[in-house]
Amino acid sequence: MKRHSILIFILIVFVLPAVKGGVPLDSCIQAALKHQSFFLQQAAIQEAGQLAHESLGKNWLPQMSIQASATFQNEQIEFPSGLPGMEMPEVPLNMYKGLINLYQPIYDAGLTSIKQQLSQLDYSKEAIELEIQKYKVKQQVATLFFGLLLTKEQQAVIATNLKTLNERLKQLEGAAAAGAALQSEVIGLRAELFSLEQKQAESRFAYQSLLDQMNTITGKSFGLQDEFLHRPSEVDLGDLSVDLRPELRVLQNRQDYLSFAEKMEKAKLTPTIGLNANAGMGNPGYNILNEGWAPMLFAGFSLNWKFWDWNQSKKQREILQIRSTFLHMEKERATIGLQLELNKLQNEILKNKSLLISDEEIVKLREEVLKRASGQLDNGVITSTAYLVELNKTKEAQMQLAIHQIQLQMQQVNFLMVKGLY
């Protein structure tokens, strides 16, 4: 048992980190969203929307209130004198009462349901606007992420060329020491070596700058030992739908809101029915001729109907329809803009795919030419200057291949982002 525990410990501490993959783009994006409290705000919006929905739902519960009054009058109703010997009742000048009032809605023409829908749309709008902010963060993270990948690829190309140049330099120094090569050729290679080392240093500083920005936006502590890795996946370039973009969804949300607001205006002209009741004590009670404290009980139905408002509701509905038309036009313009962006990315993706095919062939040919030039330099057939020309051409071809590879990956991610799928 002890032996098994030791093996598990070794597996966790040493083996798993060794096989651990690189840091993916999704991980960076999720870290940035969490660091900037997007998830907490999203949960808060959802909770507030639920509370508002429940609160409006309580409109169907009985509404209770306490009413108390004390009134004093200088005169009251007087009855004319009756028959001789008959005393007429007197209405008291002072009146006191305390009541508990109850109102139970029975029919509200759908007003409560409409208010719940409007409230839900308001909170949905806040959630969608939060999605728009999240997209901006996603784009910032993606830009930094692919910047890191590109800089890393550039460093790899420079490192490969430095290794090749160092090997050539050692061989040329040996040849120069034996008198088989000129010292000027050695100096030329050293100068190029220093130039490459300078570019390597610049690339390291650029990488560190991007890394610092990534740490700031994600709240992480990525270091030089962390490898950023993106696994590209094919995208459907034929699908240019952008309905999932939050900018379009928020416009659709406002159109839905105006539609329910129009229903609200109609419902305002519909009768509402409720049950009214109260109970309490009064002095006098409902029988004002019976002076003294007495119980007061009352129950009945009420109907409220605003059947005429001088066409105010009709005019308001017309205004809402016009605003809805404006939103529809705005949505169409936004859709066209996003589809244009998709068209541009579509062409860039196809272009880079085509360029990568030729890039790989060019790199293959350049490396073959460089290999031959290396042999010619060793045999003194060409000068170091001619060799450096071929080395730089090979380096440039390798750089172009790396740039187009990273650009293609970033364009594919941008394509999905514009569609609202990332």
Cα end-to-end span (Å), the chain: 47
- Would you say 116 and 57 are in contact if contact means Cβ atoms under 8 Å apart? yes
- What per-residue confidence (pLDDT) applies to 16? 37
| Residue ranges covered by each domain of the chain | 23-62+93-419
List strand residue ranges (DSSP E) for 14-57, in order: none
Q: Phi and psi (nearest 5°) for 85?
A: 85, 0
Q: Token pair for residue 213? A: 């920005």
- What per-residue confidence (pLDDT) applies to 36? 94
- What per-residue confidence (pLDDT) applies to 85? 62
- What per-residue confidence (pLDDT) applies to 9? 34
**Domain 23-62+93-419, what architecture?**
Up-down Bundle (1.20)
- For the chain, which ranges sit under pLDDT 70? 1-21, 79-88, 180
Residue 92: enclosing H or E segment and its boundaries? none
Bond from prior residue into 284 cis (ω within 30 degrees of 0): yes
- What per-residue confidence (pLDDT) applies to 86? 64
- What per-residue confidence (pLDDT) applies to 170? 87
Alpha-carbon distance 118 to 127, whole Å? 14
